[in-house]
Amino acid sequence: MKKKHFVVIGLGRFGGSVTKTLLSLGFEVMGIDQDERRVSEFASILPHVFQADSTDDSVMRKLGVKNMDHAIVAIGGDLQASILTTLILKDIGLKHITAKATSDYHQRVLEGVGADHIVHPERDTGIRVAHRITSQNMVEYLELSPEHSLVEIIAPQRLNGKSLVQSNIRAKFGCNVMAIRRANNELVVSPHANDMIYTGDLLVIIGNNRDINRFEKFIGE
């Protein structure tokens, strides 16, 4: 499977969190910010990080942003820069654009200029957003502590017809399945080792973040 490439524009608290999480998940990330201090902060972990004006169409093209698979516009308080950057990305031809909105009005404008997904930092953490945009199976991601999280994942075809013990989720990945919600809304709480998993089931899983990341990669292969 081809590894996805992301560009994060705006490396503040939210954008920085998205960037670090994407890196921890094994993705290639380019970072862009106008603030030299922020660029220097990420220079040690990002092979491609640039101090640049994302509202300059020619600069964005020279940086090769059009070659990215997904852009995250995480610009803070400058609404004009956020909107114009999103518009430029759409014009360049980015297929997937996730943009940070600070209000409902801001969201409507971003959607109008081409943003595919809108996030609100007051309720969507950078870690949560990074997981959701990189996994087709991820439904929800809740941080319980800096090391542990609870996630809701849609069971993929490769787990269809396997029992919990056959799926090796706990033995191989160290993650615990706390509940299974069937397609007919039947809820199986504290499932037993012999309970079956079917494609489309919603698995409620708790575990160490590193273990959850490994399981995400496994089901996404």
pLDDT higher for 146 or 101? 101
Share of the chain above pLDDT 70, in %: 93
Superfamily designation of domain 5-133:
NAD(P)-binding Rossmann-like Domain (3.40.50.720)
Q: What is the pLDDT of residue 86?
A: 94
Q: What is the pLDDT of residue 221?
A: 62
User: Has residue 95 got a pLDDT over 70?
Assistant: yes
98 close to 74: Cβ distance less than 8 angstroms: no
Four-residue CA torsion sign, 198, 200, 201, 202: positive
118 close to 107: Cβ distance less than 8 angstroms: yes
**CA–CA separation, 8 and 30 (whole Å):** 6
**CA–CA separation, 79 and 180 (whole Å):** 42
118 close to 109: Cβ distance less than 8 angstroms: no
Which residues, other chains included, contact 196 with Cβ-Cβ below 8 Å and sequence gap of 6+? 161, 162, 163
Residue 137 is classified by DSSP as S
Q: What is the pLDDT of residue 2?
A: 61
**CA–CA separation, 163 and 28 (whole Å):** 35
User: Has residue 212 got a pLDDT over 70?
Assistant: yes
pLDDT digits (tens, 9 = 90+) for 178-190: 889 898 888 888 8
pTM: 0.68
For residue 149, give both structure tokens: 């999280």
Q: What residues does each domain of the chain span?
A: 5-133, 137-220
User: Has residue 1 got a pLDDT over 60?
Assistant: no
**CA–CA separation, 92 and 86 (whole Å):** 10
The one-letter amino acid code at 154 reads I
State mean pLDDT over 37-65: 95
Superfamily designation of domain 137-220:
Regulator of K+ conductance, C-terminal domain (3.30.70.1450)
User: Has residue 7 got a pLDDT over 90?
Assistant: yes
pLDDT digits (tens, 9 = 90+) for 111-157: 988 899 888 876 667 767 777 777 666 666 777 777 888 888 888 88
144 close to 209: Cβ distance less than 8 angstroms: no
Q: What is the pLDDT of residue 154?
A: 87
Q: By three-state DSSP, how is residue 145 classified?
A: coil
pLDDT digits (tens, 9 = 90+) for 65-88: 999 999 999 997 788 999 999 999
Distances in Å between the Cα of 194 and the Cα atoms of 3, 68, 174 are 35, 43, 18
Q: What is the pLDDT of residue 132?
A: 72
Q: What is the pLDDT of residue 122?
A: 64
